[in-house]
Structure 1
Amino acid sequence: MARKCALTGKGPMVGNNVSHANNKTKRRFLPNLRSVRVTLEDGTTKKIRIAASTLRTMKKNG
């Protein structure tokens, strides 16, 4: 399963680890994914993986 938010499509970003000696090595910034149960229109529930920031936005907007 991909490390991607099911609603917004947020995925991993790439960047550098920078040491004290200013050496740079590649690293990945992974999204903060959470498994959440969502109720669909037909009354069934489904588990999806969404980012924590998306979950906060959903709770804020209702």
Structure 2
Amino acid sequence: MARKCSVCGKGITVGIKMSHSHIRTKRTWVPNLQRVKAVVDGTPRKVLVCTRCLRSGKVQRAI
């Protein structure tokens, strides 16, 4: 399973880290994904969801 939110599609972002002496190295930003049991198409399934979607109520959690 890819490191991508199943609700909003947020995934890994790539950029450049720059030190004080301007040495540039590649780095990645990884979203805060949580594996939760959510209702998808009427059935409970385990999906990867970012914490922003969880907090905003875009995901209906299954019991």
Q: State the TM-score, normalizing by the size of structure 2.
A: 0.78
Q: Deviations over 1:18-62 (max 9, x none)?
A: 1121111111101110011113464x3211000011111117xxx
Aligned AA for 1:9? G
Runs of at least 5 residues in structure 2 that lack an aligned partner in the other structure: 59-63
SS of corresponding position for 2:49? strand
How many residue pairs get aligned? The number is 58
SS of corresponding position for 2:6? coil
SS of corresponding position for 1:37? strand
Where in structure 1 do 4 or more consecutive aligned residues deviate above 6 Å? Answer: none
**Alignment-derived partner of residue 39 in structure 2:** 39
- Percent identity over the alignment? 41
Runs of at least 5 residues in structure 1 that lack an aligned partner in the other structure: none
Query: Please, what is the CA RMSD of the aligned residues?
Result: 1.6
Does 2:2 align with 1:2? yes
> Which structure has the highest helix share of the two?
1
